Copies of this chain bind each other. A is one copy, B any other.
């Protein structure tokens, strides 16, 4: 397990942006691992890797155990990675104990879950679920203009199998993940039974004002694009604070022409908007748009793009699958509680096609998307054990 550290950073974190050279190396490592356990490997057209261990009845679609090996640019060693490693532990355990499952089991590394390099997030599982076309995914670009499709080819992970739940089906999907929030730690419990995922929308916003000389243009004769963007960012925060259950964040900004004595003429930024349910998210989105349009009108800066380029509705996981997780945790003697996830996961998209649920494990201080991310070996082992139990329950059923 220590051997999947490509992209480690000196501060204890990871920088393994999807489809970079380190992602290629960890994918190759993953394939070598699963081959030890007698798995057949298929790579689909968007680079999702399926490692399938046969069962008794191989006419059945496999039970998926998936997560992701890509990370944030300054992320941690646990987000996603723990899910894939837990699935590998389940494989190893079945293999070492010569357990024959009824259905085949597929351990999956989904492509571009983070969305950090190629927005939006959960793109690989989204294509598999038919939420995006492969062409849409291929055309996504990173900050330097590289295209996802070209990067897939470059690292040799553009597979032959169609990226589709129809051509390459699963019968169910389980995912272990770190909580990325502070609830389990506060309640001193190692495990959460994930009942669903909150609703998410990402916006791309583009503003156009005027290049003007900072030293000669009176304060009241400006169309200052960066000032307008700043007013919007402050407004976005205020709007989110005013709506219970809502979150809104701006974490990407690009300003042009970046000269100290010339007011910016164009600014691009993104908004990450979330809410516990779809109705609250709709209310949040409307309020954000209204606030930004007000700022634009008052500042003489044009709102050139207000592009709602990604929405993932609130997900409610399959009751039976959630029940299997809850039972498995109880049988393992692990204190647990139900939780709705704040972060998106590949399970959001698999849930659209097959019965899905998730297992969260406690993480330190709720810190995630940060090099300081941490879960203890004991909690990780607990997660893997709950996963194994839940898989066997689904298989028996």
Contact = CB atoms under 8 A, between A and B. Distances in A.
Interface of A: 72-75, 114-116, 119, 121, 143, 179-182, 198, 200, 202, 210-219, 221, 224, 226-227, 229-231, 233-234, 237, 240-241, 247, 249-253, 255-265, 270, 272, 274, 341-344, 366-371
Contacts of A257: 72-74, 116
A240 B367 CA distance: 38
A250 B227 contact: yes
A72 B262 contact: yes
A211 B272 contact: no
Contacts of A73: 257-259, 262
Contact of A121 (B114, B251, B255, B261): B261
Nearest to A13: B211
The 5 A-B pairs of least Cβ separation, nearest first, read A230-B233, A216-B342, A214-B249, A116-B259, A230-B230
B343 A213 contact: yes
- For chain A, what secondary structure do more than half of its interface residues adopt (helix, strand, loop), or is it mixed? loop
B247 A251 contact: no
B231 A215 contact: no
Given A74-B265, A214-B249, A259 B369 contact: yes
Per assembly, the copies of the chain total 2
A272 to B, nearest CB: 4
A369 B181 contact: no
A197 B305 CA distance: 40
A231 B247 CA distance: 18
A158 B341 CA distance: 60
A314 to B, nearest CB: 13
A229 B366 CA distance: 24
Given A74-B265, A251-B264, A257-B74, A215 B229 contact: no
A69 to B, nearest CB: 17
20 contacts: A72-B257, A74-B211, A115-B260, A116-B260, A116-B261, A119-B260, A180-B216, A212-B367, A214-B251, A215-B272, A215-B344, A218-B247, A227-B233, A227-B234, A251-B255, A251-B260, A251-B261, A251-B262, A251-B264, A260-B272
A258 B265 contact: no
A344 B119 CA distance: 42
A264 B369 CA distance: 10
A75 B211 CA distance: 8
Given A72-B262, A216-B366, A217-B366, 4 more contacts: A72-B259, A119-B260, A219-B247, A263-B369
B343 A215 contact: yes
The listed residue with most B CB atoms (<10 A of its CB), out of A179, A262, A274, A343, is A262
Contact of A369 (B212, B251, B342): B212
Contact of A255 (B237, B252, B341, B366): B252
Contacts of A237: 219, 224, 227
A72 to B, nearest CB: 5
B262 A74 contact: yes
A265 B343 CA distance: 19
A270 B260 contact: yes
Nearest to A17: B259
A249 B234 CA distance: 17
Contacts of A218: 247
A342 B368 CA distance: 48
A370 to B, nearest CB: 4
A231 B221 CA distance: 21
A115 B259 CA distance: 8
B211 A261 contact: no
A181 B216 contact: yes
Contact of A231 (B234, B261, B366): B234
Nearest to A200: B215
